[in-house]
Amino acid sequence: MKAITRDIYIADEIRYKIEIGEFKPHDKLPSERQFCEIFNCQRATVRLALESLLDEGWIYCVERSGYYVSQPRIMETLNVVSSMSGRIENMGKKMHRKVVFLRVIESNKKLIKKMGVALGTKLIEFERVRYLDEEAISLETAYFEAEQFSGLLDKDLENNSLFSVLKKYYDVKFTHGEQEILIVNANPTESKYLGVEENSPLVLRRGILYTEDNQYKSYHESVMRMNRFIYADEEN
């Protein structure tokens, strides 16, 4: 068994204090010198611990000020289809959406491969930005077969969850699918809408979703800020 090094132990202790609420979002953490006194260790060890928490998104650094606790991250599950809106609401957070476009297009080579439709099939293309506490956290794009969702272009998708609209008006609920997670570099469009620098790392979640009877399907792509999400194989 691999021994736990001192920096890993310190990072675990700080992470635990964040999880139990002893350190709250946007609280300033003790300085490196103060952590050295608390844990009776060298500054280089504390710095390694803090750098690992920075990389994981638990804390953030303000130049010439110090380290602060990040906002709680949103749990994204890889094998469970559920509404992000519902998960955010359960956190007691305020979320709003901005629709970038909602329109009908013809399937291209990429989409006929992803969705298994014929070239030129009419699809609804839906793209919007999600904001959490006024911060843009994700840019989402979804595609549906237009003939199956007549009238979707007229629905209010800024003030309502996409999943709730599909259930209410079409009695459609996606239950399973094939999804993957990738790390990508922000392109100019993603940089613009998410307020990040071009080529900065983002998380891309993409895949095809199906209803239980496989009658309906949708291809989704979500590009998300790395420090606002955490991923798991299944919900607890």
Mean pLDDT confidence for 80-101: 65
SS3 80: coil
* Shared domain check, 23 and 130: no
Tell me whether strands 74-77 and 229-232 are parallel, antiparallel or unpaired: parallel
* Shared domain check, 79 and 65: no
SS3 176: strand
* Shared domain check, 42 and 124: no
Question: Is 84 a domain residue?
Answer: yes
Residue 228 has pLDDT above 80, yes or no: no
Domain containing residue 30: 6-69
Question: Is 92 a domain residue?
Answer: yes
Question: Is 1 a domain residue?
Answer: no
* Shared domain check, 122 and 213: yes
- pLDDT tens digits for 202-217? 888 888 999 999 999 9
* Shared domain check, 97 and 186: yes
Rounded mean pLDDT of the chain? 85
Q: Higher confidence at residue 82 or residue 178?
A: 178
- pLDDT tens digits for 1-13? 445 689 999 999 9
* Shared domain check, 78 and 65: no
CA–CA dist 107, 121 (Å, integer): 5
Q: CB under 8 Å, gap of 24 or more: what pairs does 185-192 form? A: 186/223, 189/139, 190/139, 190/223
Q: What is the pLDDT of residue 74?
A: 54
Q: What's the total number of domains in the chain?
A: 2
- pLDDT tens digits for 19-53? 888 998 889 999 999 999 999 999 999 999 999 88
Q: Which of 18, 50, 69 is where one domain is finished?
A: 69
* Shared domain check, 200 and 96: yes
* Shared domain check, 213 and 114: yes
Share of the chain above pLDDT 70, in %: 84
CA–CA dist 116, 118 (Å, integer): 7
CA-to-CA dists, residue 157 to 85, 100, 127, 165, angstroms: 12, 11, 10, 8
CATH of the domain at 205: 3.40.1410.10
- pLDDT tens digits for 133-170? 788 989 999 999 999 999 999 999 988 888 899 999 99
